Amino acid sequence: MKFAPLCFAALAVAASAVAQPSATMRPDLLASVEFNTAYSSREDIARGPQTLGSLAVKSYGVSVSGRHAWDESTLLVYGVAVQQFDLDQEGISTLPLPAHLGEFSLNLGAQRRIDARWSAALYLRPGFYGDFEEQLGQSFNVPALLLANYAPSRALAWSFGVNANPFSDHPVLPIAGVRWQFAPAWTFSVGFPRSGFTWQATDQLALRAGAGFAGGSFRVSRNVGSPAVGRARIANTYLDFREVRVGLGLDYALGGRVTLSADVGAVTDRKFDYFDQDYRLDGDAGTFVALALKGAF
């Protein structure tokens, strides 16, 4: 099963949700719609000292989200997301990597205010994460995030929690973050997937500098590329794909509650890790550019 039909299906769901009221996604509850795309430069890929090929990474996605107040203290959030990574290998490559990795998921969550300083949140992302070639059912996964938030003031907020992802090499990870507005126009944040500084230059323009992650954890169903030394095949297993990106960005309000975001910088680390097979590929450092268009309602 190819991933592209799922992408078009999700776009259709998004369009119908905006056009026609329904029980699951009503326009009056719609919070945001986002389209994103990114490109990471073509770089060599190696296993240990041996270079096996080269590839560029292209990605694009769309998400639709909404929210609903359950009571005075509880907010429910929900949505649908589609994301695809194209691993653009040069020529006839023997890299043991699929051509595409993708996500088609529901995003569900609940946020509850406990008191003036404390709140808690639980988020679930049930969906399909894989190469979408064979055995679609085995690519079903439910990543989860549990957070506790402490805000002693309007300028400072701390977050503590646990991230769970059964498809990852680290299925359970503790996480922590902070958001600190240390000056009227300046904010510093540490968290996942992005950390750095933001300067609100004007009412319309915000400038950013920092580091972030791209990628995810996926199930690979089909054997691809040349067999690895000492292995007959790499298939029906899990793949952690990660890029570490450092760079500059901006958010520009176009009007009508629509924002354009752009980022450019360096990919300092690229990894493809079949952790169950003890088989990892590393990419050379490169560059990236990313664009996103978000509408808030």
3-class DSSP string for 50-96:
EEEEEEEEEEEEEEEEEEEECCCCEEEEEEEEEEEEEEEECCCCCCC
Residue 28, classed as helix, strand or coil, is: helix
Half-sphere exposure in the Cβ direction for 6 (13 Å, CA) = 26
pLDDT at 176: 92
Residue 75 is which amino acid? L
**CA–CA distance, 136 with 139 (Å, rounded to integer):** 5
Query: Which residue would you say has higher pLDDT here, 3 or 244?
Result: 244
pLDDT at 21: 28
Residue 65: CB partners within 8 Å, gap ≥ 6?
A: 30, 31, 32, 33, 77, 78, 79, 107
Choose the weakest-confidence range: 6-15, 54-63, 71-80, 98-107: 6-15
Residue 9 pLDDT > 80: no
Please classify residue 193 by burial: count the beta carbons closer than 10 Å to its beta carbon, then call 0-12 exposed, 13-18 middle and 19+ buried. Answer: exposed
Give Cα 6 to chain centroid, integer Å.
17
The model carries a pTM of 0.85
Domains along the chain with CATH numbers: 4-296 (2.40.128)
**pLDDT single digits (tens) 38-96:** 999 999 999 888 888 899 999 999 999 998 889 999 999 999 999 999 999 876 567 88
Q: What is the mean pLDDT of the chain?
A: 86
Residue 17 pLDDT > 60: no
Q: How confident is the model at residue 30 (pLDDT cuts 50, 70, 90)?
A: low
Choose the weakest-confidence range: 16-30, 170-184, 220-234: 16-30
Residue 249, classed as helix, strand or coil, is: strand
**CA–CA distance, 173 with 175 (Å, rounded to integer):** 6
**CA–CA distance, 50 with 67 (Å, rounded to integer):** 50
**pLDDT single digits (tens) 136-167:** 888 999 999 999 999 999 999 999 999 999 99
Average pLDDT over residues 104-115: 95
pLDDT at 28: 42
pLDDT at 93: 63
**Helices (DSSP H) in the chain: which residue ranges?**
4-19
